[in-house]
A and B are shown apart, each in its own frame.
Chain A
């Protein structure tokens, strides 16, 4: 497909964008130069999700949560839970039983924990520990195991623990079942709880150590960290009614680059009043933005950085302590550095571990009253959750026969789309030397993308090495240079 219809950015011209022919498994980036050979625009081309929205149209709604969890192999539980929240409402259930609610919360915490551990220890830490310019072959979990055995093993074990939480509740570590419209499908037993309790103290400690590690790396090279892919943006996340960090439920809050409130305590079902999605001719993906700020300035970031920047507190003590240190670093403003995502992510991992510990101590978790029958069913509902990578929206309308008539999903990677483009643009502007792409530039682009932990299938297939294809176009739209790097 050739985008010849619009000339969106002044002197920039036609760019051939063809998601169909893109190199299989590679993230694809195009860099566009302006007349003065400065990087004017960067575009990361991402597998788009509207295919799934179409795919579920006409399907019976009761199958949708299980169907949509196939969207992702890393955080399927997020889709399962967001869709299940919709199904609860369609069934006329506004409130689950305490046991069901707590099981879901536990499930979600396990999910975020394992996803964050995967990202930090498997994908990000090798870069951070070995340096971005180190031998590519070593920058992966295997290299970690050889050189930083303890840290790598901790990562593997934290991840395993999160997966164990999922397995206990869903029957499988990946793509199981559990949530039903109005509740959950099986009670947890004392043995299940004890099994998870056995390792939780250790997991909390490992998370503390992981957090200390990333914080140390960040602050140890502050100059670099605060220059690399730093750019102001708005932030969106769920928060609790008191403004505290919330991953499973809550209401929407958006803040601007200065930390000023754009909106707060917005009910999830009203999201379309405050968010809009724009279609751009060069991408199949949508670009959401905060309506109040318009499409030009309203783009925002989601995910750990957004959540830690946005919340006023964290309910668990160790993570709250860590949040305060993070806030101090921001000195009154939100922290905008892309690499601070890693720090924020580990604060959340610690919060998850602490919150899991609290839940395991809660006798209501083992309750056997798990299903609520709805009264008046509805035809349309919205389910929002903070997935590991950020706010995730599922919005369905069903017809009179319970088949999906319309679906709208905003996945976190879509929300972060513009932010990733911006991060790449900053990095490219700084590291592009003339008109030729270098391996070093590719590495830096990779690191910038990775900070946002995008849901690219390629981001995880390659043991931490992201297969990437970067194309450089001049202001005349001519392809100057292509550099491809494979995963292994």
Chain B
């Protein structure tokens, strides 16, 4: 191995020029938590979960290029505490009722919460009022579960070439907008095979048929953490 390397928590990680820290880490089998990052799409840098320490600064691993010889710290108590706080905030900003969510066991938000040992949240729940959209025959849009990662926005634009989604509003009024004549999913032309639907990390965009079809024990994160099964 003669290519450039850097280290993550003391482990040597090879990379190719232009790769981000998270890309190199993934290839080396090192998990850096993230929610808005997806290998197929350009980094978004909004969830801040992938922030690592490099060169004396805290930087998002998804949009920071790997630098030869650099010492990156990923699993520090400080970083994990910060990440846990971020996830706690995500939980209070939306209405995430995991027990009844068909995505439970396959949900990245939930899995990352488990991985960070989040047990509760010290923050008050904001209980935002967001509209549920069941107008599509095959797909449910439950805005309560949206974390504004914009993966669907990117996938719909870049892969499906439909440009169906956008994020609008600020603060507790922030919500996923649907680009259709009446602003509802039913008239949007979204179809079950759309990548936008598949990349949603939570249960916000969800096929309606098939809820709870995968038995407990065989779901993505049953018996293995998100670090072990990260896509």
Contacting pair B217 A66 (CB below 8 A): no
Shortest beta-carbon distance, A50 to chain B, in Å? 18
Contact of A58 among B132, B214, B217 (CB under 8 A): B132
Interface digits, B88-130 against A, CB 8 Å rule (1 contact, 0 not)? Answer: 0000000001011110000000000000000000000000000
A180, B102: Cα distance in complex, Å: 12
Q: Is B36 an interface residue (CB 8 A)?
A: no
- Residues facing A in B125-151 (CB within 8 A) are 132, 134-135, 140, 142
* Known A401-B134, A401-B135: A62·B208 in contact at CB below 8 Å: yes
Contacting pair A176 B140 (CB below 8 A): no
Interface size class of A (residues with CB under 8 A): 20 to 34
A402, B133: Cα distance in complex, Å: 11
Chain A residues within 8 Å of B217, by CB: 171
Contacting pair B212 A171 (CB below 8 A): no
Shortest beta-carbon distance, A199 to chain B, in Å? 21
Shortest beta-carbon distance, B3 to chain A, in Å? 45
Interface size class of B (residues with CB under 8 A): 10 to 19
Chain A binding surface SS class: loop
Shortest beta-carbon distance, B225 to chain A, in Å? 18
Chain A residues within 8 Å of B216, by CB: 170-172, 176-177
A17, B46: Cα distance in complex, Å: 50
Contacting pair B212 A185 (CB below 8 A): yes
Q: Is A175 an interface residue (CB 8 A)?
A: yes
Q: Is B215 an interface residue (CB 8 A)?
A: yes
Contacting pair A403 B132 (CB below 8 A): yes
Contact of A66 among B132, B140, B212 (CB under 8 A): B212
Shortest beta-carbon distance, A61 to chain B, in Å? 10
Contacting pair A185 B213 (CB below 8 A): yes
A59, B97: Cα distance in complex, Å: 12
* Known A63-B100, A66-B100, A177-B216: A402·B132 in contact at CB below 8 Å: no
- Residues facing A in B177-228 (CB within 8 A) are 208, 211-218
A175, B97: Cα distance in complex, Å: 14
Identify 17 residue pairs between A and B in the complex whose beta-carbon atoms are under 8 Å apart, listed by A's number.
A59-B132, A60-B134, A62-B211, A63-B101, A63-B102, A66-B212, A67-B100, A70-B99, A70-B100, A175-B99, A180-B211, A185-B214, A186-B215, A401-B134, A402-B134, A402-B208, A403-B132
Q: Which residues of A contact B (CB under 8 A)?
A: 58-60, 62-63, 66-67, 70, 170-172, 175-178, 180, 185-186, 401-403
Known: A171-B216, A175-B99. 7 other contacts (CB 8 A): A59-B100, A62-B102, A62-B208, A63-B102, A66-B102, A66-B212, A67-B99
